[in-house]
């Protein structure tokens, strides 16, 4: 995985302790919104800086509406049996984390490992490389699903 990704969860954002306890994580910080909910996490793993922005709750539904349209588009380009169950699941999403990785190429893929660890801990979906993946890394829709559709 290079560059950016997004994590879609039906639960609340992860606890700060998840990142504090993550192997090799340093300079772990959380910025809280006025209501005490995390709005951003920041950390470093062996020289790779990760920022996880928590989408404000007031913006989630509009984002999901657009994202569902994108899922339909992906389905028309590369049909997938996962499309309808995915669209149903997206209706329950409460938390969206936008992940920024700098530099965007992590040779040891430690940033990707963190993204998958967060997704697995939240039983979340991951959007990366123009595709949607399950928390276990199974491609559901998009170019990565290709032959698995």
Q: What is the pLDDT of residues 80-100, one digit of tens each?
A: 899 999 999 999 999 999 999
Determine, yes or no, domain membership for 146. Answer: no
What is the pLDDT at residue 2?
A: 58
Determine, yes or no, domain membership for 111. Answer: yes
Host domain of residue 10: 5-141
Determine, yes or no, domain membership for 96. Answer: yes
Picking from 110, 111, 133, 135, the residue whose alpha carbon sits closest to that of residue 122 is 135
* Encoded tokens for 120: 């697995």
Determine, yes or no, domain membership for 149. Answer: no
Picking from 18, 36, 46, 44, the residue whose alpha carbon sits closest to that of residue 124 is 18
What is the pLDDT at residue 111?
A: 85
Determine, yes or no, domain membership for 91. Answer: yes
> Is the separation of the CB atoms in 43 and 17 below 8 Å?
no
Domain count, the chain: 1
Determine, yes or no, domain membership for 31. Answer: yes
Determine, yes or no, domain membership for 147. Answer: no
| 117 Rama sector, left if φ>0, alpha if ψ -120 to 50, beta otherwise | alpha
**How many whole angstroms from its chain centre is CA 129?**
12
Print pLDDT tens along the chain (149 aa).
557 999 999 999 999 999 999 999 999 999 999 888 899 999 999 889 999 999 999 999 999 999 999 999 988 888 889 999 999 999 999 999 999 998 876 667 888 899 999 999 999 999 999 999 999 999 999 998 874 44
Determine, yes or no, domain membership for 32. Answer: yes
Beta strands in the chain (DSSP E): 5-9, 25-32, 38-45, 48-54, 95-102, 125-128, 131-133, 139-141
């Amino acid at each position: 995985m290079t560059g950016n990704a997004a994590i879609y969860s039906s639960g609340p954002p992860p606890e700060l302790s998840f990142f504090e306890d993550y192997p090799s994580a340093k300079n772990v910080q959380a910025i809280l919104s006025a209501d005490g909910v995390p709005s951003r996490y920041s950390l470093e793993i062996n020289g790779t800086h990760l920022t996880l922005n928590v989408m404000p709750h007031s913006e989630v539904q509009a984002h999901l509406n657009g994202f569902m349209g994108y899922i339909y588009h992906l389905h028309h380009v590369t049909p997938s049996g996962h499309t309808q169950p995915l669209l149903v699941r997206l209706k329950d999403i409460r938390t969206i984390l936008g992940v920024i990785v700098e530099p965007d190429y992590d040779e040891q893929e430690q940033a990707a490992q963190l993204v998958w660890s967060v997704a697995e801990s939240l039983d979340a979906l991951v959007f990366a490389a123009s595709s949607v993946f399950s928390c276990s890394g199974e491609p559901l829709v998009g170019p990565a699903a290709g032959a698995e559709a």
